[in-house]
Amino acid sequence: MDHQTTRRPVGDHQQALGALVGPALSRPRRRTHALTALLGEAGRGALPRVVAGDAVAAADLPGFDNSQMDGYAVRAADLTGATPSDPVVLPVVAPVPAGTQAPPLARGTAAPVMTGSPVPADADAVVRIEDAEPPVFPEPGTPATVRFAAPVRPGTFVRRAGSDVAAGDVVVPAGTPLGPAQLGVLVAAGVAEVEVAEPSHVLLVSTGSELVPAGRSLGDAQVHDANGAMLTAALAEVGARVTQRVVPDDPAALRAVLAEAPDDVALVVTSGGVSAGAYEVVRQTLTDAWFGHVAVQPGGPQGLGTIALGKLSGSGPGMDRPESDNSRSDRSRAVPLVAFPGNPVSALVSFELFLRPVLAASTGAAPAHRPRRRAPLAAPLDSPEHLHQVRRARLDADGRVEMVGGPGSHLLAHLAAATLLVHVPPGVAHLEEGDDVDCWEIR
Ligand code: AMP
Ligand code: MG
């Protein structure tokens, strides 16, 4: 085969996939949830949620003027002219513990306040306890005075109501993933309900007559469905909800799974059955899709197309039929289909290269790109010159890139041990120790 002319460049396939899948996922359904329900989900480690409609603060944050320090609430005007040699001496009134309401502060007095205590009305500043003399609070109930050796500016150490966010202001804008800080501020600002994007529903189909679902025992020549596990977790990480199926290398079985697809599936992802073997079920079933080779290793064989899901009254689901085709009933609808090769490392690397960026960008649940770095190789590296090679690696103690296993696309344990994907572009056949390579941090 003439590799140069017949293989699709990586960038071209990324573009083709993005153009097909991006628009299909760009308008997720929105739903309003009780914040407490979203907190429950977060506590169970459920899918990342993304805010779909600006969340508005129901209350000021802080909700009331409160002290930033343990100290004395004072009227700044009372301390004008205080110096070490001529301190201002004030009687100490009842302390204000956090969680209690204080009476207004009388002129010429000082009230002990704790961090988070409400600052009494008419007080306008807090002097830290360590800046007062004595620098300890008196026993509550015993008459006492306190000396201040310096003036204080109004506002000092007072956290003003609404200074973080004011009631009625947008506190978490649409498009923001609901992480710890976002959930925290929604609770703090009294928000009861949040409109979030419903996760895109992905139908994930592992194909192969040799496959056995996770946890079941293997017969002769059978293998566990590792791709189903990997891609389910990978899809969930970028905010997709996954329905997973395993089908043998039998077009009728694949058609049946597509016909029974849940109504809200927005994307189909398959693994296996796309290369040049004798039993390539995805290729054989989806005759209108693009199947070809991308100039990448691993992950060369790829497929991409649009598939009709749901019940068809005619010959069963097939590739995108024209609306006028009367074999298509109302229950079928066209969604993008992305077909990955079956070798486990190929499947996950394909996901990283082609689908993850598109999904992450459309759901907003994760950054569209993995963190990237350039780092020097710990040892020389060969790469097929006509291909974009992706190798699994980690950093050694000196911050150099050390390969984890060879290029074989069945080396799943090595992938699991790796922290980096190393990219060697086409046109490069050999790199020396110390040469810098592009790396994506995958964990
Ligand atoms: P295929 O792309 O279907 O030709 O499969 C290529 C290789 O990947 C074969 O060794 C398969 O047994 C293996 N394989 C395919 N699908 C899976 C899967 N879901 N989990 C683990 N290995 C798989
Ligand atoms: Mg197969």
Q: What is the pLDDT of residues 52-61, one digit of tens each?
A: 999 999 999 9
The encoded tokens of residue 241 equal 């909800």
In whole angstroms, give the CA distance from residue 64 to residue 50. 30
Share of residues in the chain with pLDDT > 70 (%): 94
Which of 205, 227, 411 maximizes ligand 1 atoms within 8 Å of its Cβ, making it the mutation to test the pocket? 227
Query: Does 170 map to a domain?
Result: no
One domain, residues 385 and 399: yes
Which residues in the chain land under pLDDT 50? 1-4, 313-318, 320-329
Same domain, yes or no: 121 and 188: no
- Amino acid symbol at 153: R
| Domain count within the chain | 4
Residue that the structure tokens 């007080």 belong to: 123
CATH of the domain at 219: 3.40.980.10
**CA distances, 121 to each of 65, 74, 102, 141 (Å):** 9, 10, 8, 21
CB 202 within 8 A of CB 232: no
Q: Are residues 68 and 120 in the same domain?
A: yes
Rounded Cα distance between 73 and 141, Å, is 17
In terms of residue numbers, what domain contains 268?
Answer: 3-25+199-363
224 shares its domain with 349: yes
Q: What is the pLDDT of residue 48?
A: 87
Would you mind telling me the total number of residues written for the chain in this entry?
A: 443
Residue at 248: amino acid letter:
P
Is residue 216 located within the same domain as residue 328? yes
**Whether residues 41 and 77 fall in one domain:** no
Residues 355 and 418 in one domain: no
321 and 335 inside one domain: yes
Residue 419 φ/ψ, nearest 5 degrees: -115, -10
Residues 245 and 315 grouped into a single domain: yes
Environment class of 432 (CB within 10 Å of its CB; exposed 0-12, middle 13-18, buried 19+):
exposed
Which ligand 1 atom minimizes the distance to the CA of 207? 16
Q: Any idea what the CATH number is for the domain that residue 408 is in?
A: 2.40.340.10
Nearest residue by C-alpha to atom 14 in ligand 1: 342
pLDDT in tens, 384-426: 999 999 999 999 999 999 999 999 999 999 999 999 999 999 9
8 A C-beta contact, residue 177 and residue 251: no
Residue labelled with tokens 């298509």: 328
Give the pLDDT of residue 326. 45
Half-sphere exposure of 239 toward its Cβ, with a 13 Å CA cutoff? 30
Q: CA 57 to CA 53: how far, in whole Å?
A: 13
What are the tens digits of pLDDT across the range 166-223?
A: 999 999 999 999 999 999 999 999 999 999 999 999 999 999 999 999 999 999 999 9
The interaxial angle of helices 356-363 and 10-25, nearest 10 deg, is 30
pLDDT at residue 5 in the model: 53
Which residue ranges have their beta carbon within 6 Å of ligand 1? 206, 208, 210-211, 223, 225-228, 271-273, 275, 277, 341-344
204, 211, 254, 279, best to mutate for ligand 1 pocket (most atoms within 8 Å of CB): 211
Please tell me whether residues 180 and 134 are part of one structural domain.
Answer: no
- Of the listed ligands, the closest to the CA of 274 is 1
Determine, yes or no, domain membership for 356: yes
Burial code of 130-146, b = ≥16 C-beta within 10 A, e = fewer? ebbeeeebeeeeeebeb
Joined together, the tokens standing for residue 202 give 């992905």
User: Which numbered atom of ligand 1 lies nearest the CA of 210?
Assistant: 12
Same domain assignment for residues 282 and 418: no
CA distance 397 to 300: 33
- For residue 402, the model assigns a pLDDT of 98
Of 206, 207, 223, best ligand 1 pocket probe by most atoms within 8 Å of the beta carbon: 223
